[in-house]
Structure 1
């Protein structure tokens, strides 16, 4: 069986699957790949950025196992002038609600961008309000609970306005536009994900 590996920049308001649901856009509206290729993990409908597509079940299993603790880097635009204290809280861990239970997030790395990062424009753009700042934070996590980043920034008082997954380990969406797709070779993707190809 031929194995395929793609990285895509998932656009905003697109489902992380190839089958439509209601009138929501799905991956099939943007990307043409072999029929047995599926996304690894998920990226929320209202989030954008890096997603890996493959038909390599071994890669899928390794990437999703919590003990591998892969680094995932998110660029997060938040509502309001985020403080150093709030960023420090994110780093040490905050309590969020996951499936009706309180969960304390693991330590992560977080920092405020000095200036707006270079990203493709979002369509539609976030609602701009002159009087309220909307700074960006870089967050590097090694876990991926449902809507975790949004719940974390809300927990420290700064709701997420825009969320982009920029990187998983050494794979990034640098230079990609929303809706772009790139094919990678097997050795390259395993190396960049710091996994052993079996």
Structure 2
């Protein structure tokens, strides 16, 4: 048991599942995973219905603020499959920043980020639900960024005229998805969890204090 009494999990969120335990819509929920999560567990951040990969679940309500609302930006890395072959010139456009449309209709130039053209990792299995035509021309990109506008990665690849077919979050800072299978759940020890996320200003005893 962690000192604070809180629990921490990572999951590999499957395709076609929302990052919630409750929804008024008829959708696949986190509670459909084959794991008995404790009461009060919630997702930190989210992946949309069609995105896959690393999602944090915890009973500690402070994690969202410490991770996504702090002054210290935290890197998030995505493995992305796009239609057609991406050139190095197009990848460089992504690295330097591209213009995307954000909520409210404003144009936004993305912050410079890390982009690699990669081979598909061996442990990434083909998607079983709504399988993709991987025999058609495509590219895999590894994109690391610190900002998170709505559907940002999909809009970025669209800006270089490559439709995003598959989006998998593979890491947040040093917290890695690894070879956790789709739908898989892994519980983490508290100090290791915060160390890998590079969150230094947390206090275990504060987690059990009443929220103001």
Same fold (TM over 0.5): yes
The Cα shift of 1:123 comes to 2.4
Aligned to 1:164: 168
The 5 A counterparts of 1:135-146 are 135-146=139-150
Pair 1:16-2:23 in alignment: no
C-alpha RMSD of matched pairs (Å)? 1.4
The 5 A counterparts of 1:70-81 are 70-81=74-85
3-state SS of paired residue (1:89): helix
Quick check: which has more Rg, 1 or 2?
Answer: 2
3-state SS of paired residue (1:3): coil
Paired residues of 1:120 and 1:178 also in contact (CA < 8 A): no
**2 CA distance for matches of 1:127 and 1:185?**
36
Paired residues of 1:126 and 1:162 also in contact (CA < 8 A): no
Aligned to 1:173: 177
- Of 112, 115, 131 in structure 1, the residue corresponding to residue 117 of structure 2 is 112
Deviates more, 1:147-156 or 1:62-71: 62-71
Return the TM-score normalized by structure 1: 0.94
- Of 115, 121, 127 in structure 2, the residue corresponding to residue 122 of structure 1 is 127
Gaps of 5+ in 2: 204-212
**2 CA distance for matches of 1:181 and 1:87?**
33
3-state SS of paired residue (2:143): strand
Superposed CA offset, 1:6-27 (max 9, x none): 0000000100100134221111
Aligned to 1:195: 199
Pair 1:40-2:44 in alignment: yes
